[in-house]
Amino acid sequence: VDKVDRQLRFARATSHISDMPELPEVEHAMQQFRAAAVGRTIARVRVLHKALERALPADAQQKLAGRTIRNVERRAKLQLVTLDDGSIIEVHFKMTGDWSFGAATDDIEHRERGRIELSDGTRVSLIDGRAFAVMRLHPPGELALPDLGLEPLSPEFTGAVLRDALAKRTIPIKQALLDQKVVSGLGNIYASEALWEAKISPERVSNKVTAAAADTLVAAIRTVLERAPAGRYYYEGTGETAEATDTAWRVYDREGEPCARCKTKIKRIVQGTRSTFYCAKCQK
């Protein structure tokens, strides 16, 4: 029964693959990359897929050789790799990207799209089933980030700041939470999860969110992001899974299942083309 249940869960999770990877997965991947690469020098960059080559052409690959990696950080779902000359590699996993680590001498992995070989003989590989992930090299000072709101886990992100951002918006709160100018990097899954945690209806009009509700919602956002498992996520249709990310979700992808608080069946609605999962009884 366990196995069948896991297979069902897998099939359902993959049907929402476009919602992954979300911020916790990107944060985890970024930390692994940082630990593997900071202070090390790039020996060679290999691009193994045409789509990635468009973003990182041969001249950019050549410029990377010999550069030392000074820092790796995350902004929203972007990973930013700062090199010793001030240039920056911008990485976006898009739908199915992830890092894999090993030795530079390893055979090319299944779905490996690119490989950064480091001078200590290790490698960091971009694994990406859909091949939508990008790595781009920006010369010093030329990376222009979009206008992003605060990071949801930063201490500056408070109920007052959130309420301020919501004050002029008349769209439903769920959609506002996906607006990167309101809060950066909170994706579709954790927007649903946070609203359930805060007992706020996803349909509540943004500028009707009270100060108390905004405080509750900020705390809920932190709770759901910190509760998210840091492991890998599902690869579409391959059966390759490591850890079941969705076991941590209370409403996301649980349409028809009983609410963990009140046993009412979880509903799914579509807001701005994205699925929202919620409990109509305990979210007001």
Check if 53 is active-site: no
Nearer CB in complex with Zn ion: 58/262: 262
User: Could you tell me the smallest distance in angstroms from the CB atom of residue 279 to Zn ion?
Assistant: 3
Catalytic residue among 21, 24, 152, 202: 21
Q: Which is nearer to Zn ion, 169 or 261 (CB)?
A: 261
CB 57 within 8 A of CB 63: no
Residue 61 vs 216, nearer CB to Zn ion: 216
Known active-site residue 21: yes
Q: Is 274 an annotated catalytic residue? A: yes
Least Cβ distance, residue 264 to Zn ion (angstroms): 5
Region at 279 (left for phi over 0; alpha for psi -120 to 50; beta for the rest) = beta
218-223: long-range pairs with CB below 8 Å, 24+: 218/157, 218/158, 218/159, 218/162, 220/194, 220/195, 221/152, 221/157, 221/177, 221/183, 221/186, 221/190, 221/194, 222/152, 222/153, 223/194, 223/197
Cβ 44 vs Cβ 65: under 8 Å: yes
Closest distance between Zn ion and the C-beta of residue 250, in Å?
9
Binding residues vs Zn ion (CB under 5 A): 259, 261-262, 264, 279, 281-282
Active-site hit among 77, 204, 232, 267 = 77
Shortest Cβ 232–Zn ion spacing (Å) = 30
By C-beta, is 127 or 251 nearer to Zn ion?
A: 251
Q: Which residue has the tokens 């060679």?
A: 44
Catalytically active residues, by annotation = 21-22, 77, 274
